[in-house]
Amino acid sequence: MVDGSRASIAQIDHLAMIERRDRFLGLLGTRPVIMGVLNVTPDSFSDGGKFFSLDAAMQQAEKLAADGADIIDVGAESTRPGHMPVAAEDELARLEPILGKLASRIDVPFSIDTSKAKVARRATELGASVVNDVWGLQKDPAMAETVAETSAAVVLMHNRDSVDPGLDIVADIRRFFDRSLRLACAAGIPRPHVILDPGIGFGKSRAQNFTALANLAALEDYGLPILVGVSRKSLLAEHAATPVDKNLVRTLAANLAAAANGASIFRVHDAAEHAAAFKVFDAIARR
């Protein structure tokens, strides 16, 4: 009887995850969609350590939801340049307390920012509806099958181990996506569950990052939603000494340009400001 009850609870939890996944996917294409960033890490580039405690993380999640985030992206391993790799067990130790509370306390869907299949599987068991993989299923050989088995949607992000300034970055992004999409298809991930991310700030020179942002339309033929994550990134500053308080202005400018070029999901730290800006953008774009 106990085992049957547990199975029923697990089934209900899975159905709730699917409902949130479909609610999130159903928004795509109707208006700009905001993905709020929640880093439960001690070393992320912008807010490392700020939301490391459970109480601080929950307060930030609630704020992001209240400020207009359509989905909350939870990560427990920094992916900034020069970051220290984190073992799956350590990543899960950071994630499990917050993920266990998110599904019960916040109605907004949430995603898991990880490139590890073990972490992705556990996060979906705790309610994550989307796996946001910064290596596009190409780092962990088990990731594609894990995503398929859990029924989560997936973000395939372009990445590189090193920067090659002479590379045709748009062509490289397409080659990477082609391989990721083959892996997704072979694993049985439904194409409508796939989102593409050109990986701004990952394995690219500053010029290549801007080229990728300017050429999002070159990805339209995939027929898939495009996510852009430029929030607070130093590549937006012309000089390293540019005041930090200008980060929001630069981020808004980049995201509005990305929206005009075809992006539909925006991974940001400042949800309220983007919600306000996108309301104006969308009202104008619809005319």
- Which residue is catalytic, options 267, 279, 286, 287? 267
| pLDDT tens, residue by residue, 84-117 | 678 999 999 999 999 989 988 999 999 999 999 9
Q: Of 20, 116, 121, 233, which one is the catalytic site residue?
A: 233
CA atoms within 13 A on the CB side of 41: 25
Of the two residues 180 and 97, the one the predictor is more confident about is: 180
pLDDT at 166 over 60: yes
C-alpha to C-alpha distances, 277 to 29, 82, 118, 253, 268, nearest whole angstrom = 17, 33, 37, 10, 13
Catalytic residue at 267? Answer: yes
Tokens (6 digits) for 100: 């266990």
Enumerate the domain spans of the chain.
2-285
With a CB cutoff of 8 Å and minimum separation 6, the contacts of 205 are 163, 165
- Summarize pLDDT for 70-79 with one digit per residue, the tens: 999 999 887 7
Superfamily of segment(s) 2-285: Dihydropteroate synthase-like (3.20.20.20)
Give the model confidence (pLDDT) of 39-87 as tens digits: 987 744 454 445 668 888 899 999 999 999 999 999 988 776 555 678 9
- In this structure, what token pair is assigned to residue 66? 């209240």
Question: Nearest Cα to 102, choosing from 90, 111, 93?
Answer: 111
Token pair for 32: 């700009």
